[in-house]
Amino acid sequence: MTDVTRRVDAFLGAYGMDPGRVDLDRCAQAFQADMEKGLRGDPDAHMLMLPTYLSPQGEVPRNQPAIVIDAGGTNFRIALVSLGAQGPEVQELRVFPMPGSQGPITWAEFVDQVAEAVLPLTGRSRRVGLCFSYAAEILPNRDGRVLRFSKQVQVEGAEGRELGRDLSAALAEKGAPGVTFAVLNDTVAALLGGVAALGEEVFDGFIGLIYGTGVNTCYAEDREKLAKVAAPWARDTMLINMEAARFDGAPQSEFDRRLDAQSVDPGLCRYEKMVSGRYQGEVIYYALRQGAEEGLFSPKLSAFLQGLAGLTSVQADAFSARPYGDGLLASACRTEADREAVYTVIDRAVERSARLVCANLGGILLQTGAGTHIHRPVCIVAEGSTFYKGHLFRGKLERLCAEYFTGVLGRHYAFRKVADANLIGTAAAALLNL
């Protein structure tokens, strides 16, 4: 380790940003403890542990089209999807900006925009799967009651509204009556997409992981642990949308607290604000700005950083991929010491994110007891741009999972990428007859 790296590590440690503060086992146990609270309906739980009224055990009808909506953190996608013997078929895929992502809109405006996008496809199908990447209470009829939007998407008057009911009513007014909706979270859709696409492989359960603009996980919970599910449930398991973004048991740094205070929802989703693609660049920005004020960098770079209005995760990742390139930070670094210092800040931030995501997944393994047999691992279906496009993240996560899951817990796992997992899983949810 060089003197530059030692100085940076000491600086980060002084502000609570040392990734070593995230003890994997302790943090995984904290995740599991909050999971159990959420399953009981304990008001002290941070993660909501939302029932989905979906199970990976259902049979999906083949060759029947469903309209699929993927309301994500950045994009709004809509398509017609059918699941056939030759695999899933995605037709008429269109992509728009997520309503409410470019400025505040009302709930009525949101419903009208979504209904207008659905309307052209209602001649092909009247069954809609809506993958909703925000907190929603899934009802026994598989409609979704909005709890809140996040990720800087602003829809006024949305809380408490039922997505399927309001959208069906809007479509009926536009000349398309009888449209039914199944609402699910993107993490649940990813998991169901894995179940549908990986049917020839045998796994000891599935975990859905979203790591992109936001972060979340889901898994199948045993029926006897579904204490807060009031409606009768005939299946052995039910998928649980953890709303893991809300976890609040990780040690925060001063930079996390600054970011949280400036966000549109201070005090909420602190785990997501520490790790996700929407926020990680901001955490790094606060660290670099503070380092500039304390003389961690050369005078020229310090002046540049102090004049910088902000930093995105994409810009930070571009530097870690090409520290001698022509990106924003690379162009500003004129000395080797500056490049090393900036790289180290970014590396430690990503290391901390990987430790927290590993602990999140570890909490699920502790809760379920799955993955004890080497020949039948747990399948982790991962989705999200930050997971697949981040230069440093995935390698760090896989190293940590090997060390903790297999080396400490004695569990076995496999990451799987499924093309169009969200679309496939959402179609499966729309077509399942549970």
The CATH number of the domain covering residues in 66-188+422-431? 3.30.420.40
Of 260-264, 301-305, 340-344, where does mean pLDDT reach its minimum?
A: 260-264
Q: What is the pLDDT of residue 171?
A: 97
Q: What is the pLDDT of residue 85?
A: 72
pLDDT above 60 (res 77): yes
Q: Exposed, middle or buried by CB within 10 Å (0-12, 13-18, 19+), for 67?
A: buried
Neighbours of 230 (CB within 10 A): 9
Asked whether the whole model's pTM tops 0.85, one would answer yes
Banded pLDDT at 88 (limits 50, 70, 90): confident
CB contact set of 365 (below 8 Å; sequence gap of 6+): 28, 371, 378, 405, 409, 411, 413
Mean pLDDT for all residues in the chain: 93
Of 58-62, 121-125, 235-239, 399-403, where does mean pLDDT reach its minimum?
A: 58-62
Q: In the chain, what percentage of residues exceed pLDDT 90?
A: 78
Q: What is the pLDDT of residue 434?
A: 40
Q: pLDDT tens for residues 139-158?
A: 999 999 998 887 778 888 99
* 354-366: average pLDDT: 98
Contact between 207 and 379 under an 8 Å Cβ cutoff? The reply is yes
- Nearest CA-CA partner of 217 in 203, 205, 232, 228: 205
Q: What is the pLDDT of residue 420?
A: 87
Angle at 218 between CA 215 and CA 222, to 5 degrees: 160
End-to-end CA distance of the chain: 57
pLDDT above 60 (res 433): no
- Nearest CA-CA partner of 391 in 283, 316, 329, 285: 316
Q: What is the pLDDT of residue 338?
A: 98
Neighbours of 92 (CB within 10 A): 12
Banded pLDDT at 61 (limits 50, 70, 90): confident
Q: pLDDT tens for residues 200-254?
A: 899 999 999 999 988 999 999 998 898 878 777 878 899 999 999 999 999 999 9
- Nearest CA-CA partner of 139 in 115, 122, 163, 172: 163
* 257-268: average pLDDT: 94
* 278-305: average pLDDT: 97
Banded pLDDT at 125 (limits 50, 70, 90): very high
Q: What is the pLDDT of residue 118?
A: 95
